[in-house]
């Protein structure tokens, strides 16, 4: 059980990052209207959110631009059309996925871009490539963080090797990523201990990106806060791949930091997120995501189950158990 002080106290080092466009974009192929994106940007400013992730820097050679909205590619000009010179306290982020981006060409010098933070996403087995991406972004003038995905499938020994390699790079933040929504708070606590060892050794910060397959994204996030993790990802109305993420409106209401305001988040959910659901965009906790989370499986089968509008949950359970 956490010390009450560690959960209730105001900690000025905490940073909140809005991943609605990026993780939420995986639900609707990044087809957000400019009105939605501008309203989200203004909401983040009003709510005191520290970073807004606009989407991916995906390779246009690998992904057909005609099949995705523009935030799959997050062109600098498209971001600038929303934020202008961004003379605010809100910083702009994008994600660069190892093996799925042309980072040497598509990520230009920071001095010519509205982007502040490059979030490198990697698996444990692609850490060397991630290290090269980190140094490229850092040399171009960006803040850099690194999301190590699917750690619930990684051996502790290989995770420690990965963190040691990353610690020697110019990355500023290591992210704990519960890609499958399979982790419990006790496991988060153990992972924070492992990450903290290398964060302390190399002078890095820690972050968490949680998924809600077992309705634990918020619980795991506040567990991490109590354990000393400073960078916290969230999305409005939990919008994200499959079961979604930690809800921004829950997180802002929890944090005892006077710069964060919950009311703008509630307004945005009311006016924009609920409209997305009314228009047929589907995300959030459901039995199929619970099953893949409990079995520590990638949610791709549950996502297909959802797309197919299946309701035979018991049959699906037999299918995914057979894959285990």
- Separation of first and last alpha carbons in the chain: 32
CA distance 98 to 103: 9
Task: Provide the pLDDT for residue 19.
Answer: 98
CA distance 249 to 221: 13
Percentage of the chain exceeding pLDDT 70: 97
Integer Rg of the chain from CA: 19
What is the mean pLDDT of the segment spanning 221-237? Answer: 97
Cβ-contact 206, 13 below 8 angstroms? no
Helix (H, G, I), strand (E, B) or coil at 88: coil
Structural element, H or E, at residue 145: strand 143-148
Q: Is the pLDDT of residue 195 over 70?
A: yes
What is the number of alpha carbons within 13 Å of residue 314 lying toward its C-beta?
Answer: 0
What is the number of alpha carbons within 13 Å of residue 86 lying toward its C-beta?
Answer: 23
Task: Provide the pLDDT for residue 10.
Answer: 72
CA distance 147 to 121: 5
Helix (H, G, I), strand (E, B) or coil at 36: helix
Residue 4 pLDDT level (bands cut at 50, 70, 90) = low
C-alpha angle 130-40-148 in degrees, rounded to nearest 5: 20
Tally: H helices and E strands in the chain: 15, 8
Provide φ and ψ at 53, rounded to 5°: -85, 120
Task: Provide the pLDDT for residue 136.
Answer: 98
Bridge partners (DSSP) of residue 144 are 118
Of 100, 136, 113, 131, the C-alpha closest to 26 is 100
Q: Is the pLDDT of residue 159 over 60?
A: yes
Cβ-contact 288, 302 below 8 angstroms? yes
Task: Provide the pLDDT for residue 301.
Answer: 98
Q: In this predicted model, what pLDDT tens digit does every residue of 264-315 receive, in sequence order?
A: 999 999 999 999 999 999 999 999 999 999 999 999 999 999 999 999 999 9
Cβ-contact 90, 68 below 8 angstroms? no
H helix intervals, 140-184: 156-167
CA distance 18 to 143: 16
CA distance 188 to 224: 7
Task: Provide the pLDDT for residue 3.
Answer: 59
Task: Provide the pLDDT for residue 241.
Answer: 98
CA distance 195 to 175: 9
CA distance 127 to 148: 9
Task: Provide the pLDDT for residue 11.
Answer: 83
- Among the residue ranges 4-18, 223-237, 310-324, the one predicted with the least confidence is 4-18
Task: Provide the pLDDT for residue 302.
Answer: 98
Task: Provide the pLDDT for residue 22.
Answer: 98
Task: Provide the pLDDT for residue 7.
Answer: 58
Q: In this predicted model, what pLDDT tens digit does every residue of 44-101 receive, in sequence order?
A: 999 999 999 999 999 999 999 999 999 999 999 999 999 999 999 999 999 999 999 9
Would you tell me how many other CB atoms lie within 10 Å of the CB of residue 15? 18
Residue 12 pLDDT level (bands cut at 50, 70, 90) = confident
Task: Provide the pLDDT for residue 8.
Answer: 57
Task: Provide the pLDDT for residue 324.
Answer: 80
Task: Provide the pLDDT for residue 206.
Answer: 98
Q: Which residues contact 68 (CB under 8 A, 6 or more apart)?
A: 29, 30, 31, 58
Q: Which is more confidently placed, 60 or 257? A: 60
What is the pLDDT of the chain when averaged over all its residues?
96
């Amino acid at each position: 059980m956490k010390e009450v002080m560690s959960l209730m106290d105001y900690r000025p080092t905490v940073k909140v990052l809005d991943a609605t466009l990026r993780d939420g974009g995986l639900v609707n192929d990044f087809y957000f209207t400019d009105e939605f994106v501008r309203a989200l940007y203004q909401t983040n400013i009003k709510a005191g959110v520290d970073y807004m992730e606009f989407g991916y820097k995906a390779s246009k050679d690998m992904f057909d631009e005609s099949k995705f909205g523009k935030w799959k590619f997050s062109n600098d000009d498209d971001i600038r059309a929303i934020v202008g010179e961004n003379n605010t306290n809100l910083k702009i982020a994008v994600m660069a996925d190892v093996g799925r981006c042309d980072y040497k060409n598509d990520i230009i010098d920071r001095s010519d871009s509205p982007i502040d933070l490059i979030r490198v996403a990697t698996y444990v087995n692609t850490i060397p490539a991630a290290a090269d991406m980190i140094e490229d972004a850092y040399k171009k003038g960006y803040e850099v963080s690194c999301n190590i995905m699917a750690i619930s499938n990684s051996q502790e020994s290989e995770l420690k090797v990965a963190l040691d390699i990353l610690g020697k790079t110019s990355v500023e933040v290591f992210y704990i990523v519960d890609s499958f929504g399979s982790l419990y708070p006790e496991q988060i606590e153990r992972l924070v201990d492992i990450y903290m060892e290398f964060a302390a050794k190399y002078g890095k910060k820690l972050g968490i990106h949680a998924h809600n397959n077992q309705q634990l994204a918020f619980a795991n996030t506040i567990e991490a806060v109590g354990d000393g993790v400073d960078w916290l990802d969230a999305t409005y109305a939990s919008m994200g791949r499959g079961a979604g993420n930690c809800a921004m409106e829950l997180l802002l209401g929890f944090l005892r930091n006077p710069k964060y305001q919950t009311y703008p988040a509630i307004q945005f959910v009311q006016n924009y997120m609920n409209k997305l659901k009314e228009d047929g965009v589907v995300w959030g906790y459901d039995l199929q995501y619970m099953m893949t989370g409990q079995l520590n499986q990638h949610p791709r089968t549950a996502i297909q189950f959802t797309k197919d509008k299946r309701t035979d949950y018991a049959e699906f359970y037999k299918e995914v158990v057979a894959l285990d």
